Amino acid sequence: MSKYIIRRLIFLTITLIGVLTITFFLSRVLPGDPARLAAGTRAGPEQVEALRRSLGLDRPLVEQYVRYITSVIRGDLGMSIRTRRPVRVDLIEYFPATVELTVFATFLCVLLGIPLGILSAIRQETVVDHILRVVAVAAVSMPSFWLGLLLQLVFFRWLGILPATGRIGLGFRPTHITGMYVLDSIITQNWVALGSSLKHLVLPATALAAGSIAQISRMMRSSLLDVLSHDYVRTARAKGLRESTVVLKHALRNALLPTLTVIGLQIGVLLSGAVPVEVVFSWPGIGLYAVQSIVFVDFMAILGVTLLMTIVYSGMNLIVDVLYGVLDPRIQY
């Protein structure tokens, strides 16, 4: 196991270098002059040129790339042109909000996707199964930003029961510990802030998780149907075991293996899919930070976000692979 993890970490390093290389050169073809944008409309040509030299943008592209990779190895992600702060500081500030949103959305995916998939499998070709399949197709086909706007219209505009934007109500922000308001509220026992933060999470997390819930439920259904056709399941039924015992004790564990892969991949999808959701709900996370950085042609911030997302996505794949061996001892690394 340890040798396998070491090999994967080596491949992860190679992947990171490749992603950074591609992103670095692609970011340089974006339209706009970052030095001009950072200096402001009233800055003269001399000021813009001085700022360009201070940012290193006047140097050859290959030299800029080598300097950036060297800085990343040292742990320096550069300075954001837009916020005038180190990118590392910005990521530490904005990332907890995205993690909180993604964790809550993942919780909804597991809480709803797996039971719905099981229900659809044990009610195969019934009305319930057909309804769930239609809903799943609709959820996968629906863009998250459009669903977010629809949820805002219904639950904020028409019903007025849930907030439309932001992370928490004014004046309710808990003491900063982790940057995740729900966790910070629990740690500090600020139950008013906890209630407000949970209310603000419902709509964006639902919009973000809808497509993944459908994906997980469809995989759970097909995987469980495949397992239920195996000989050992028929033997368990022939022994007179209750159907719930056959499904939940004998079939579910093996059926969870491919579903676990989908869940792990969906976490990466949720992180990347958080960008339009955060924009729609004005959620101050990495997605909103990335969009603002792209608009401002903030090279260092764009590269920092890309690096962080690559690490998280690859790390989740590694965790899923390790969990495979835990759930199925037959798997050897």
| pLDDT tens sequence across 158-201 | 999 999 999 998 888 898 899 999 999 999 999 999 999 999 99
Q: Tell me: pLDDT of 330 over 70.
A: no
**Tokens encoding 261:** 């892969």
Distance CA 8, CA 14 (A): 10
Cα dist from 327 to 40, 166, 264, 323, 332, whole Å: 57, 39, 14, 6, 12
CB within 8 Å of 49: residues ≥ 6 apart? 35, 58
Average pLDDT over residues 91-106: 93
Q: What's the pLDDT score for residue 158?
A: 94
Task: Give me Rg for the CA atoms of the chain.
Answer: 24
Q: What's the pLDDT score for residue 328?
A: 64
- How many CB atoms lie under 10 A from the CB of residue 14? 9
Q: Tell me: pLDDT of 333 over 60.
A: no
Q: Tell me: pLDDT of 135 over 60.
A: yes
Of 109, 329, 66, 279, nearest to 205 by C-alpha is 109
Cα within 13 Å of Cα(314), Cβ side: 19
- How many CB atoms lie under 10 A from the CB of residue 192? 12
Asked whether 136 and 148 are in contact (CB, 8 A), the reply is no
Distance CA 56, CA 37 (A): 15
Residue 58, classified by CB atoms within 10 Å of its CB into exposed (0-12), middle (13-18) or buried (19+), is: exposed
Angle (CA) 319-274-283 rounded to 5° is: 125
Q: What's the pLDDT score for residue 17?
A: 86
**Tokens encoding 269:** 């999808």
Q: Tell me: pLDDT of 101 over 60.
A: yes
Amino acid at 243: E
**Tokens encoding 214:** 């459908």
36 confidence band (pLDDT: 50, 70, 90): confident
Q: Tell me: pLDDT of 294 over 90.
A: no
Exposure letters 24-57 (e unless 16+ CB within 10 A, then b): beebeeeeeebbbbbbeeeeeeeebeebbeebeb
Beta bridge partners of 74: none
332 confidence band (pLDDT: 50, 70, 90): low
Long-range contacts of 147-152 (CB under 8 A, 24+ apart): 147/206, 147/207, 147/210, 148/203, 148/204, 148/207, 148/276, 148/277, 148/280, 148/281, 149/280, 151/203, 151/206, 151/207, 152/203, 152/280, 152/281
331 confidence band (pLDDT: 50, 70, 90): low
